[in-house]
Amino acid sequence: MTPEFQVLSVASWLLVITFLQLALYPSLKKCMRQYAFPASFAASLLIFTILTWYCGLARLPVQFGLVPFTLLLAYHIYRHDYAWDELKKEWRWELIFLIFFFLMLTVRFVNPTISYAEKFMDHAFLASVMRNPVVPPLDPWFAGGTMDVYYYLGYWVFGCLGIVSGVPSNIAFNLSLPTVLGVAAVTVYAIGTLLLDRFRWLPLLLFFIPNPSLFYQLITGSSISSALWNSTRTITNTINEYPLFSFTWGDLHAHVISIFNQVLLIFLLIYLYKYWESLESRGRWLICGLAALSLGSMPLINTWDVLIYAPITVIVAAFIILRGWKKGQGISSWGQLIAIPPLSIIIYLPFYLMLKTSTGGIALVRTPSDPFQFLLVNGWFIAIFLLLLVKEIRERPYFLLVAVPFVFAGYIAAAIAAIPLIYFIAKKEHSFPDLLAIFGLAILILVELFYLKDNMGDTYFRMNTVFKCYVPAWIILGISSFAMVGAWFARPGRVPVMPARKSAAFAVLIVGFLFIVPFLVPLDLNYGGRTLDGLAYLDSSHSGDASGVAYLRNLTGDERIVEAVGGDYTYYSRISSFTGIPAILGEPFHEYMWRGDTTSWYSTRPAGVKSIYENPDQTVALMKKYNATLLYVGDVERETYNVSLPSTGLEQVYTGQGTDIYRIAG
C-alpha cells in the first residue's frame, strides 16, 4: 500500500479516537474535574467497544456504535461545553498520548511484519472481526466454529476501529499497539498526577525499564536481540514478559491489549479512594459505572486479569466503606461501590452465557522459582521497597521472621516477597502506593504457591500462570514503586525544582532520543520494514501468496477456505491468518488448547484436508462436509501434499505466480 494511503490511514484512525474521546470528555468534567480529559481516552474506547459488541450480537452494523457518541457530541456543542480556553489547558494530555502513540508507531514502522510468534493468531482474529463483525466472532482457524472459546474483545475493539475508520486489517494491526500504549501512558500519567505533586512522570518508567535479567544476559555475553528474548524466559519453564519487551516484540496479544484497561481501573480506584467523600451521588454512580465497565471488560479482553483485579476492586471498596463507617456514614453512601461487581457481570452477561472454555482448577506449586531467577525478574521493585523500608525494618526487625515458614517449605522466592509485604501491611497509615505494593507483592507470592491447571503439560505447568499474572504484577508494582520514589525525591532538600525551560529542554532531548532508538536497534529480525503494511513483506518473500491473499481479501460474503495444515508458529495457516476467511483447521495446538478434542477433530480435520488435496474423488464431498467454498493451492500446499484435484466440481477463479484458487462449481 502506498505511503500516502498509510498516512491517511493513521490520520483517519486518530480522527476516530479523538472524536470518541472529545464526545465523552464533557460528561466527565463535573465529577472528575481536571482528570476528565485523560480518563476519557480509555473510557471512550471501552464504551465504544460495548456498544459495537452489542451491535454485533444483534447483527447490526457496528457503525451504529458511533451514533450515541454523535448525539453526545451534538448535545455538548448545543450546551456550549467545549470552551477553547479550557481545551487549551488540556494540551499536555494530548501531547503525552501523541508522543507515546507515535513512538510505538515508529517501532511498528521499523518492524511491521505479521510474520512470527503470535502475530498470525493476532491478525487472524483481527481480520475475522473486520471481515464479519458478529458476536461471537467466527474462528478463522476452525471453520464452523466461533471464538466463544477464547477472550477476544481486544481484537473486537481494534477491528471495529478499523471498520469505522476505513483502515484495512494489515495496517490496523500496526496502529493498535500504538493506541494501547498511547492511551495507557495518558492514564498512567494521570495516576502519577493523582499520587504526586512533583515527579508525576516517574510511573511512566514502567513502560521503559527492562527487568534486571536483561543486564545479566548482556554482562554474560548475550547479544542484544537474544538478551531481550532470554530476559523473558528467566524463570525456568515460564514466560515473564514486561511491557518494554511486549511492545517491542510487537504481538498484538491479549495480555498486551489489556494494559490500557488495567491502568484505567487502577486510576478509577485511586480516584474513588481519594475523592469518594467529596463526590456527589451522580458522580459516584458515573465513576463506579466506569469501574464496573472496566472490570467487566477484563474477562473478554484477557480473562486472567479479572482474577487479580476483582479482589483488588473489592478490597479497595472495603477500605472506602470502612473509612466511611468510622465517620458514621450510612449504608446508602456505599451502594454504588457495592454495585460494581454485579454490574461488571451484568453488562456483558451474554458473553458468559456463550462461553465454552474452562480451567482445570488450582494446584500447589511443587517446583517454585529459583530465588536468583526471581530477583532477576522482580529485583528492581524488591530493592526499591526494601530501601524505602529501612527505617521500619530497623524499628521492628522481628517482622523478618515472616520469611522463615516460606524458607522451610522451600519457597524462598515467596519468602523474599513476604518481607516487604509484611512491613507494608504493618504500617499504621496506608497511602495508595502502599496498597498497590501489597497487592503486587501478594500476586508474586500467590504465583509462587499456586497455579491454574491447563493442558500445557508437566514441564510447562506454570507457564501460563506466571505469564498472565506477571504483567499485571509489573504494572501494579511499577506504579507503586515509582510513585514512592517520586514522593521520596519530592521531600524538602532532596531534589531541587528544575526551571521550566530546562525541564522542557531535557524532556525534548529524552523524547528525541527515544524516537531514534528504534532505528538503531535491530528490531526487524531480517523481515524488512519501513512501512505500516504488515503484509508488505509477502511481495518479496512469498510473491505467490501475496497476490493470492490480495485477491481473497477483496472477497465478501460467507466464505470458508481449504489450506494446508501444519505446525503452530510456522508459515502454515497463513491464508486464514492474512484474510480472516475461516479455514477447516488453522494452528492445531492453539485450537486444542481452547477446544480440547471431545469430537476427535484433532485427527479427522487434518486427515480430511489431506484427502481434499490428494484424493480427487473425495475433494468436493469433503469440502461440502465442512461447508468450504474455496480451495487454495500455493507453494506450501504443493510441498505438503501430492496435490491431485478433480476435473469436475471445481472452477478456477484465480491463478497467478504459482498460486491457484478454486471455488466449488455452482
For residue range 488-515, what is the model confidence (pLDDT) as tens digits? 999 988 998 888 888 889 899 999 999 9
* Residue 446 maps to a domain: yes
Q: Is the pLDDT of residue 220 over 90?
A: yes
* Residue 240 maps to a domain: no
Q: What is the model's pLDDT at position 666?
A: 75
What is the average per-residue pLDDT within 278-298?
Answer: 96
Q: Is the pLDDT of residue 457 over 90?
A: no
Q: Give the chain's domain count.
A: 4
Same domain for 386 and 333? Answer: no
* Residue 100 maps to a domain: yes
What is d(CA 537, CA 519) in angstroms, rounded to the nearest whole number? 18
Same domain for 420 and 468? Answer: yes
* Domain limit, last residue, from 291, 326, 357: 357
Burial of 407 (0-12, 13-18, 19+ CB in 10 A): middle
What is the average per-residue pLDDT within 234-244?
Answer: 97
* Residue 247 maps to a domain: no
Q: Is the pLDDT of residue 331 over 90?
A: no
Same domain for 477 and 530? Answer: no
How sure is the predictor about 583, in pLDDT bands with cuts at 50, 70 and 90? very high
Same domain for 169 and 263? Answer: no
Q: Is the pLDDT of residue 359 over 90?
A: no
Q: Is the pLDDT of residue 287 over 80?
A: yes
* Residue 77 maps to a domain: yes
Same domain for 41 and 190? Answer: yes
Q: Is the pLDDT of residue 554 over 90?
A: yes
Same domain for 386 and 309? Answer: no
Rg of the chain (C-alpha set) = 26
How sure is the predictor about 126, in pLDDT bands with cuts at 50, 70 and 90? very high
Query: Is this structure's pTM higher than 0.95?
Result: yes
Q: Which residues pair with 654 in a beta bridge?
A: 661
First to last CA, the chain: 34
Q: Is the pLDDT of residue 311 over 90?
A: yes
Q: What is the model's pLDDT at position 622?
A: 98
Q: What is the model's pLDDT at position 500?
A: 85
Domain of residue 660 covers 538-664
What is d(CA 438, CA 484) in angstroms, rounded to the nearest whole number? 13
Q: Which three cell numbers stand for residue 20?
A: 470518541
Q: What is the model's pLDDT at position 330?
A: 63
What is the average per-residue pLDDT within 50-65?
Answer: 98
Same domain for 581 and 450? Answer: no
How sure is the predictor about 520, in pLDDT bands with cuts at 50, 70 and 90? confident
Kindly report the average pLDDT of the chain as a whole number.
Answer: 95
Q: What is the model's pLDDT at position 332?
A: 61
Same domain for 184 and 170? Answer: yes
What is the average per-residue pLDDT within 585-595?
Answer: 94
What is d(CA 213, CA 31) in angstroms, rounded to the nearest whole number? 43
* Domain limit, last residue, from 465, 492, 519: 492
Chain-centroid distance of CA 260 in Å reads 7
* Residue 660 maps to a domain: yes
* Residue 234 maps to a domain: no
pLDDT in tens, 651-660: 999 999 999 9
What is the average per-residue pLDDT within 14-29?
Answer: 98
Q: What is the model's pLDDT at position 454?
A: 86
Q: What is the model's pLDDT at position 493?
A: 85
What is d(CA 576, CA 583) in angstroms, rounded to the nearest whole number? 6
Same domain for 501 and 530? Answer: yes
Same domain for 123 and 16? Answer: yes
Percent over 90 (pLDDT), the chain: 89
Task: Characterize the bridge pairing of strands 450-452 and 362-364.
Answer: antiparallel
Residue 444, Ramachandran bin (φ over 0: left; ψ between -120 and 50: alpha; else beta): alpha
Residue 138 DSSP label: B
Same domain for 480 and 520? Answer: no
Return the closest-CA partner of residue 467 out of 188, 253, 250.
253
What is the average per-residue pLDDT within 614-623?
Answer: 98
Burial 155-175 (b: 16+ CB within 10 A, else e): bbbbbbbbbbbebbbbbbbbb
* Domain limit, last residue, from 325, 357, 389: 357
Same domain for 344 and 382? Answer: no
* Residue 245 maps to a domain: no
